[in-house]
Chain A
């Protein structure tokens, strides 16, 4: 149990997927203008990464390893993730319209998000078992949500500030994320 919590905290804060691993930067910079949309994006990412961790782990253990084709993991995972996202989108649209309304627009955006494929590959690289894979996926996604919501709230509050012309737009966002990355480096002492 203690190890499980360590994996979740490690994935969410210490090795934050965005601010120290640089995966999933595109939505991080693109969909962080408003707190509402970034919360929706975060929710969708949590949903998809946890599902993808489950499915890719099952595929890896029960298909790729028995047939001795682990070198096909990249192809297998990206296809499974793309199909999964499409499937989830169709399922939600038909059966859970309220959730679809909240997450729907973000689902197609994360089909080819590095974070989803990245966390699936990390699970394999670190040889996590099923439960640890899901925990790691969940932690990673929570870390993504924390980072994107924080950035969105900072962006909302600096919107009216008098920023020098040259730093308006993306430079100030990048500097904000750099400062956030410094803050997140403080977590590295949390886990030995």
Chain B
């Protein structure tokens, strides 16, 4: 049970997908115009993430290694379709305001990233809790960014207006504002040296795509793993070789020193012998 709580803590605080890992930037910037949209997007992603982690983890021994990425994509796409239909039926207002970003949950780095990095290696229960943690972390991240943008841009929080129209900065509700808010956030992370993928202080090993969204697609993940493995092996081999060389050198030096000492001793004895004579 402790492990499950640890997964949730890990997702919300330690490896928060928005603030620390910087994954899934497209929805983060696109749907954070109002806090309601942020929460809706976050919870939809959470639902997909929990069930995709659960199913992938349950099937991890059946899915052959070579076709795992297409298999994951099919599972995730089916879940996204279910969520999309449910939203369309029960929350039509949210469905229309999130628009194309609901089907685009399929290509969200977080989902395939967690499937690769966690669900493919751990049991269903832990994986489901990992999904809950990561999903809630994503929801928290989106909601925080959305609240900042909504206050600055529309003078409101969750649709509740409290700043008069003359004092609003409309640009924060539009596309450029998203970039500026995120720029401010990453600048703060740099200033306080907070762990973040953008300033390279997150250990890369825990991530399937190393925090680099550009490489977060199935095929490249595999080649990345291979490349990293080669680099690691090479480093290990180098270290071993260096160690061996150092050891040999030390042994040789010791031997030489011993030989020299012996020779000196012998020379000394010879000299003594000569003196005696």
Contacts and interface: CB of A to CB of B under 8 A. Distances in A.
A73 B80 CA distance: 11
Given A169-B186, A185-B174, A26 B213 contact: yes
Contacts of B220: 108-109
Interface in B62-88: 70, 73-74, 77-78, 80-81, 84-85
A182 B176 contact: yes
B221 to A, nearest CB: 9
B22 to A, nearest CB: 8
Nearest to B105: A74
Contacts, number: 144
Contacts of A167: 183, 187, 190
A171 B183 contact: yes
B190 A26 contact: no
Contacts of A72: 81
B26 A112 contact: no
Contact of B213 (A19, A22, A30): A30
What range describes how many residues of B lie at the interface? Answer: 35 or more
A25 to B, nearest CB: 5
B107 interface: yes
B206 interface: no
A125 B100 contact: yes
Interface in B100-130: 100, 103-104, 106-107, 109, 112
Interface string B197-212: 0110000000000001
A19 B178 CA distance: 10
What range describes how many residues of A lie at the interface? Answer: 35 or more
Nearest to B198: A170
Contacts of B213: 25-27, 29-30
A131 to B, nearest CB: 22
B71 to A, nearest CB: 11
Given A78-B73, A112-B112, A114-B26, A181 B214 contact: no
B26 A25 contact: yes
Given A30-B212, A78-B73, A181-B176, A117 B217 contact: no
B186 A170 contact: yes
Nearest to B69: A82
A101 interface: no
B81 A75 contact: yes
Given A168-B190, A178-B183, A26 B26 contact: yes
B191 A166 contact: yes
A113 B77 CA distance: 14
B106 A109 contact: no
A171 B22 CA distance: 13
Contacts of B85: 71
Contacts of B77: 74-75, 78-79
B227 to A, nearest CB: 12
Contacts of B58: none
Interface in A55-78: 71-75, 78
Given A75-B78, A114-B26, A175-B183, 11 more contacts: A20-B175, A25-B25, A74-B84, A74-B106, A79-B73, A82-B218, A112-B112, A166-B190, A175-B180, A178-B176, A181-B176
17 contacts: A19-B175, A23-B100, A25-B25, A25-B29, A29-B25, A86-B219, A109-B214, A112-B106, A117-B107, A121-B100, A125-B100, A170-B183, A171-B184, A171-B190, A174-B180, A175-B180, A178-B179
Interface of B: 25-27, 29-30, 70, 73-74, 77-78, 80-81, 84-85, 100, 103-104, 106-107, 109, 112, 171, 174-180, 182-184, 186-188, 190-191, 198-199, 212-220, 223
Interface of A: 19-27, 29-31, 71-75, 78-79, 82, 86, 108-114, 117-118, 121-122, 125, 165-172, 174-175, 177-179, 181-182, 185
